[in-house]
Structure formats: structure tokens, C-alpha cells
A = this chain, B = another copy of it.
Amino acid sequence: MPTIADVAKRAGVAQSTVSHTLSGKRPISADVRLRVLQAIEELGYQPHALARALATRRTRTIALMYPALTSEISEPHLEFVSGVLQATNDWKYGLLLWTAPDENPKVPYLVRPDLVDGSVMMEVRLDDPRVRRMKELHYPFAMIGHGTENEGLNFVDLDFDYALHTCVEYLAGLGHKRLAFINNSVEQYELGLGYVVRSEGAFHQALAQWGLVGTSSFCGSNAQAGYEVTRALFTRDSAPTALIVLNAWVGGGIMRAIHDQGLRIPQDISLVGILSPRAAEMTVPPLTAIDFPYKTMGYRGAELLLRQLEGETLSVQEFLKPPLTIRQSSGPCPS
């Protein structure tokens, strides 16, 4: 691999001249520029990103702090990735995937700070240790999701309050009186994951507001769990006539349980989700759902960081309120 020195020698100029023709940080005469460019071309020179990064103290790479890789990765997280990747691509940055290593509790969740210019966090907890640490290190970051203390932080999040209210309102309008909300897992709730906690609260608040009754259940992220949780709903004296589900991966289990119960969707029971259109269309019937814009959120979150890194000082806290798309899993409450 040729270095900048090789180029300089071949073009008969100083290294700094090569460096500057490349960066444009100072005027270069036409003929010198030509010679340099030619030398670069002939040698197939490509600047060594590492050396440059060491000298400039900027890597032009950001990290995506991935939630810890426990037994099962919940796939929705993955959908954020493609959005983030799209953004780093557009901005010509690199993207490093990062996971909280379990074995080093001393430096919890901290990215090798010298490898990246900043990071995007996801699966934010209400009181997230990563956030505290990042702040105290004055480390640039942005979040997909948000916690309790948001002073001066930048993030994009789905407005779960809006989402749950919208679902409940919609179902109330269809005459449903008894609802059930199938949330994510207890573990996530107890971890204090923002959206899990907020959804839980918002659901009950919305119930009260519309004078409905309802129950909420936690549920693991797989079809089997969805099945069991749903079965349990029907053992009670007054079963719900409509369900709201947060997690795309349990939809199949829920529908199967409903089917096994001898009920039909949407004639006997309604099901609405808060999930990606893609997931909503994977089932039969397709699900009425708040269209969770994973990719957009990933893109926006990354942008929030990138703009900071490019020198902007910003303070953006964006709440997305995607529409409820009516598909075929919901209908009027049977009388």
C-alpha cells in the first residue's frame, strides 16, 4: 500500500502539499495539484484512515450501542440498524456495532471511546447508566428512545402515549368496553425500558379517560408466550373484546390462541398492534396498527448525532406520531 510519502516523492512535492490538495485546506497551484492527483492515480493511493484519525482525533465513525446480546435478540432492534446505517452512509461515516460486554462492569456500556466520534443509543432505560456516564464524560451521543431526565439531550422516540391513546380511542369508538394490552416482557419492564413503562402507564390512563375496563399483561417476545398470555385472558370471567399488542413477534401466538378459543378476527374480537407495516401485513388477516417507523427512527437518531459531530449544537427531542392504519383485524364490538 502506497503512503502519502510515496505520492509526495513521485509528484516531487512535500507531504503536506499532498495532504492539502486532498483536504483542500489551503490553495494549491493548478500544476502542482495536477501532478499530485496524477501520482495518486498512478499509485492507487488511498489515505490510511487510521493514521488520519490518530492525527485529527476524528474517526468519522460512530457506534450504535446495541442492547446486550442476551439469549434472544429481539428483532425489532435490528430494524433500527438499517436506518442508522442508511444515515451513516449518507453522511459518509462508518458504523460500529457495539454491545455492552457483560464481563466488565467497571466501564459499563462504554464504547472504546477512541474508535468512534460518538454513539447512538437504543433501548434506553428511564434511568440509564449509559446516559449518566456519557454525560459525565461529555461524550457526544443521541438516543432512539428516551429516559426520565432529558435536560439537554437529543433523541427521537415514538410517542407511546399517543400510540396507546389512539388505539384505545379507536377501539372505544368501535364500541369496545373491555380491552387487554399485551406489553413486552416483565424483565424489560423491571429494567425500566422507557417504552415498556410508558406504554403500560398510557394504556391505563387511556382506559380511565374513556371509561373502559381492561387488563395488561407482560409477554415474552415469541409466539408461544403470546399464545399462553392470550389463553389466560379467556379464563377470566369477563374476557376482552379487543387486544392491543406491542410486539410484532407475538402476533401469531395471539391469533392462534384466539382461533383455538373459537373466536374470529375481527368479527368476535379485535386486534390492533403497534408495529411495523411489514409485520402488520405478515398475518392473516393483516393487522390494524400504529405504523412503527423503525427505519425512520434509526435514521433520525443517527442524524441527531451526526449533526452534532459536524459542529451543530442542537437540542432536538422529537416524538413521532405515526398514523393508525386500519387493516382487517379490527371491527365493531359484537353485541
Contacts and interface: CB of A to CB of B under 8 A. Distances in A.
A192 interface: no
A51 B49 contact: no
Interface residues of A, number: 53
B82 A115 contact: no
B284 A49 contact: no
A112 B249 contact: no
One complex includes copies of this chain to the number of 2
Interface stretch (A92-100, A141-149, A196-204, A311-319): A92-100
A59 B114 CA distance: 12
A1 B57 CA distance: 12
B282 A223 contact: yes
A61 interface: yes
Contact of A252 (B66, B223, B284): B284
Interface stretch (A72-80, A120-128, A178-186, A210-218): A72-80
Closest 9 A/B residue pairs (Cβ) = A223-B281, A78-B78, A252-B282, A73-B82, A255-B284, A95-B97, A48-B114, A49-B112, A50-B114
Interface of A: 1, 46, 48-51, 53-54, 59, 61, 66, 69, 73, 75, 78-79, 81-82, 85-86, 89, 94-99, 101, 107, 112-115, 222-224, 248-249, 251-253, 255-256, 259, 278-279, 281-286, 295
15 contacts: A1-B114, A46-B112, A50-B54, A50-B114, A51-B54, A61-B96, A75-B75, A78-B81, A78-B82, A85-B97, A94-B112, A223-B282, A252-B281, A253-B281, A284-B284
